Amino acid sequence: MRLVFMGTPDFAVPTLQALAAHGHDVAGVFTQPDRPSGRGKNLKPSPVKTAAQELGLPVYQPPKVKSPESLEILKELAPEVIIVVAYGQLLSKEILGLPPYGCINVHASLLPDWRGAAPIHWSILKGDQRTGVTTMQMDEGLDTGDMLLKTELPIGEDTTTGELHDALAQAGAQLLIATLEQLHKGKLPRTPQKGPVRYASLLTREHEKIDWARSAQDIHNQIRGLNPWPGSYILFREETVKVWKSSISAQARGDGAEPGLPALKDFKPGEIIAWDQQGLLVQTGEGLIRIVEVQPAGKKPMPARDFFLGRRGQAGESFG
């Protein structure tokens, strides 16, 4: 099929590559303008732009895709369908209605669950045990269009956002290819969205700081849900420290108390009660959590135990 692809981050790259590999006629690739990056603030192309150039595809980077100039370009390209994967700009009614087969979005959740900007993060932050990808016929609402096809993936108890992101990106690419195959055959189902809706809002700095009054499970979900971006953080002796990896202790899982530990009633949330080769055991509002890997400001990630002992930490000290 002749199509235009719109996407920007790493998540969209496997879909673009799959379209080219399956022989679709990608008339043009729209992506966000180059952005300043790094200490030198040099302009950096989006992952989709880099992938498109490697494939020899024409690239367009309008600051505003809703502009009359962008609409004219799309009319000249004359796509049968527009594919949108994490593009980062809203499409106008004119663009949505331009291709004969409309605009199809690859969304990283099982719609109508987790509409919005950060569905992968929030599925882990909330402790979901499954998620997936949905192809959707776009309309003017926020992820409200008719569902086309879905594929489901499990979420492991220690799965990070980064790991789930990569798995969903590959699954989304294959699902989009299957969607276009059925569209070409005239057999593509369309199902209106019904049922409970959750919204995956943009993450803010407030989501990053660990609140030790929460349960061990909630904190574990927060740490893995914000890995690799933007990361959770704690304070230790007024030093800001990122936390990248944790695990739930046997006591927090309800499998019995950790052997050799002092009475938990003597500790408050945030206090470090013990350590072992795997990490630091910290009291939470409900159960113990083991902090496994941390990163002090300006340093590389390191085992939490090495960080703590390197600063001559003592049992009973508290993470802020």
> Model confidence over 101-119: pLDDT tens digits?
999 999 999 999 999 999 9
On whether the CB atoms of residues 126 and 221 are closer than 8 A, the answer is yes
Q: What is the mean pLDDT of residues 203-232?
A: 97
DSSP state of 245: E
Q: Minimum mean pLDDT among 93-102, 119-128, 258-267, 310-319: which range? A: 258-267
pLDDT at 263 over 70: no
Which CATH number is correct for 1-198, 1.10.10.10, 3.50.50.60, 3.40.50.170, 3.40.190.10?
3.40.50.170
| 82 touches 106 (CB < 8 A) | no
Spatial separation of the C-alpha atoms in residues 16 and 29, rounded to whole Å: 9
Helix (H) or strand (E) holding 292: strand 288-296
Region of poorest pLDDT, from 125-129, 231-235, 265-269, 314-318: 265-269
Q: How confident is the model at residue 38 (pLDDT cuts 50, 70, 90)?
A: confident
The vertex-51 CA angle with 47 and 54, nearest 5°, equals: 145
- Average pLDDT of the chain is 95
The stretch 159-180 carries a mean pLDDT of 98
- Answer whether 273's CB lies under 8 Å from 261's CB: yes
DSSP 8-state assignment for residue 211: -
> Chain-centre distance of CA 49, in angstroms?
20
What does the buried/exposed string (b/e) look like for 2-26 if buried means 16 or more CB atoms within 10 Å of the residue's CB?
ebbbbbbbebbbbbbebbbeeebeb
Q: Average pLDDT, stretch 171-194? A: 97
Answer yes or no: is 111 a known binding residue: yes
189: burial class by Cβ within 10 Å (0-12, 13-18, 19+)?
A: exposed
Structure tokens at 2: 């002749």
Which amino acid, 2? R
Query: What is the separation of C-alpha 17 from the centre of its chain, rounded to a whole number of angstroms?
Result: 20
pLDDT over 80 at 257, yes or no? no
Q: Are 85 and 7 in contact (CB under 8 A)?
A: yes
Contacts of 139 (CB under 8 A, 6+ apart): 96, 145, 146
Report the pLDDT value the prediction gives residue 119, as an integer from 0 to 100.
98
Beta bridge partners of 245: 293
109 assigned binding-site residue = yes
How much is the pLDDT for 39? 77
Say whether the peptide bond before residue 112 is cis (omega within 30 degrees of 0). Answer: yes
CB 75 within 8 A of CB 39: no
Report the percentage of the chain scoring pLDDT > 70.
Answer: 95
* Domain segments of the chain as ranges: 1-198, 203-316
At 320, is the pLDDT very low, low, confident or very high (cuts 50, 70, 90)?
confident
Q: Which residue has the tokens 């690859």?
A: 106
- Backbone dihedral angles phi then psi of residue 280, each to the nearest 5 degrees: -105, 130
Percentage with pLDDT > 90 across the chain? 92
Instruction: Say what the pTM is.
Output: 0.94
The pLDDT score that the predictor gives to residue 175 is: 98
pLDDT of residue 18: 98
| pLDDT attached to residue 41 | 84
Helix (H, G, I), strand (E, B) or coil at 162: helix
pLDDT at 40: 78
pLDDT confidence tier of residue 37, bands split at 50, 70 and 90: confident
Could you count the other beta carbons within 10 Å of the beta carbon of residue 111?
26
Question: What's the mean pLDDT in 159-163?
Answer: 98
Q: What is the CATH number of domain 203-316?
A: 3.10.25.10
Q: What is the pLDDT of residues 70-100, one digit of tens each?
A: 999 999 999 999 999 999 999 999 999 999 9
Q: Is 264 annotated as a binding residue?
A: no
How many residues are present in the chain? 320
- Tell me whether residue 215 is annotated as binding: no
